[in-house]
Amino acid sequence: MKKLLPLLLLAITPAWAHPPVVSPSLHFLPPEGQVVDLLDQDPGVRHAGALLTAAQAEARARAVGPHEFTAHGEYVTRSTKLEGRLNEWTAGVSRGIRLPGKAEADRRIGASGVDVAENGLGDARHVAALSLKNLWIAWLVAESDARQNEAEVSAYERQLSVTARARQLGQSATLQVEQVQAALAQARAQAAQATQARLDARMTLQRNFPALTLPVSPPVMPEPKEPPGSWEDWRKAVLDDNHEIKMARSEAERRDWLAKRARMDRFADPTLDLRTFQERGGHETGFGIGFSVPIGGALRSAASDQTAAEAIAASVAAHRVQRDVEIIAERDVIGAQQGLEAWRQNQAAAQSSTAMLARMQRAHELGDQGITELLIARRQDYDMRRNEARTRAAAHGAVLQLLIDSHRVWGLGDEE
């Protein structure tokens, strides 16, 4: 049993390598099972899946090699004055033979190609997840803006009713009514724009993910939370589990083996030929073995130089991808940290603005403040509410970006 325990731990370690993050702050997102299905149906993911199937087929083809058996034969009938009509024929089979080392190179090329395609599939799922995240949050922001604008219009309509009644009673001037009417018209124009943005965001989301069932009432985004663990651990997680890096490295490895294979091809594979024949109407029969070898020249040398240069380029590209992903990892962490801080500041500002509006409303009712100051305070309060909702969404988006890039959500770590 003691000997089996390390093996059992080793077997289950990959399942714990990238555990998904479960947090109440993520409950405004679509259910994970539905998202996994949506990602599978994404055109980019399906395209990458087809490329993986093609890469697997190419790997099988390279494993068996480029040479096939070729059957050949010839039948001739001729006549002579001495022997009369003679039937003669030849038949044979030939096949090229890979020189030592080429089969292993072909196997490595095929395996590397499959690695590239597998990571391409993972990266396509990652891209689709980012698209869903962006469109989902954009839709919720548009819905929130529309609700805030509708509430602002209602507030101005109530204020207009109160101000108009006060004018009838001689307690306010016509100018005050006109000020409220102007503010109401501006709010209605802004509400119309927000409604258009809401419809556009909803349409864009549904067009890109037609299988997504949108709820009747859009979910409310809760307060964003920091992901568990240290920020440095999250930065490392993005680097340790990145399909772009893996894909670039696999492509560099594939190109390197292609260059090695091209160098080997400067010595061409021989072709063996087994044949049998009958001549002079059967008086002569025989069996023979032949071979042929192409003589490599400038063409094969140029092909070798080309693949060697492409291998160098792929290696440089892999280093560039590594650098770019390091920047992305740093940016993800900074974005999440600053996004959360920006939301906290806007939340505090919105709370202060709401409290100030309540005091301003009370002062106006008591006659201590004019309508102008009240309208300014109300406009400022709704602007603060919209800013708080937008920074809340931005903070959620930044945290979710970190979770997606580290494959800790929506089943993105299942293919590791």
The pLDDT tens digits of the residues spanning 57-113 come to 999 999 999 999 999 989 888 877 677 778 888 999 999 999 999 999 999 999 999
Q: Is the pLDDT of residue 253 over 90?
A: yes
- If phi over 0 gives left and psi between -120 and 50 gives alpha, with beta otherwise, what is residue 101? left
137: exposed, middle or buried (Cβ count in 10 Å: 0-12, 13-18, 19+): buried
Residue 71: how many other CB atoms lie within 10 Å: 8
Residue 218's nearest CA partner among 140, 302, 131 is 140
pLDDT of residue 171: 58
Q: pTM of the predicted model, to two decimals?
A: 0.84
First to last CA, the chain: 29
CATH number of the domain located at residue range(s) 28-405 in this protein? 1.20.1600.10
Least trusted range by pLDDT, from 136-150, 166-180, 291-305, 312-326: 166-180
Q: Taking residues 171-183, what's their average pLDDT?
A: 79
| Dihedral sign from CA coordinates of 55, 16, 397, 28 | positive
Rounded (5°) CA angle 125-126-132: 85
pLDDT of residue 5: 34
- Residue 85 and residue 15: Cα distance in Å, rounded? 79
In the chain, domain spans: 28-405
Distances from the Cα of 37 to the Cα of 44, 128, 129, 138, angstroms: 14, 11, 11, 21
pLDDT in tens, 279-315: 876 677 888 999 898 887 899 899 999 999 999 999 9
Tell me the one-letter amino acid at 233: D
- Residue 245 and residue 253: Cα distance in Å, rounded? 12
Residue 373's pLDDT band, with cuts at 50, 70 and 90, is: confident
Contact 183, 383 (CB under 8 A): no
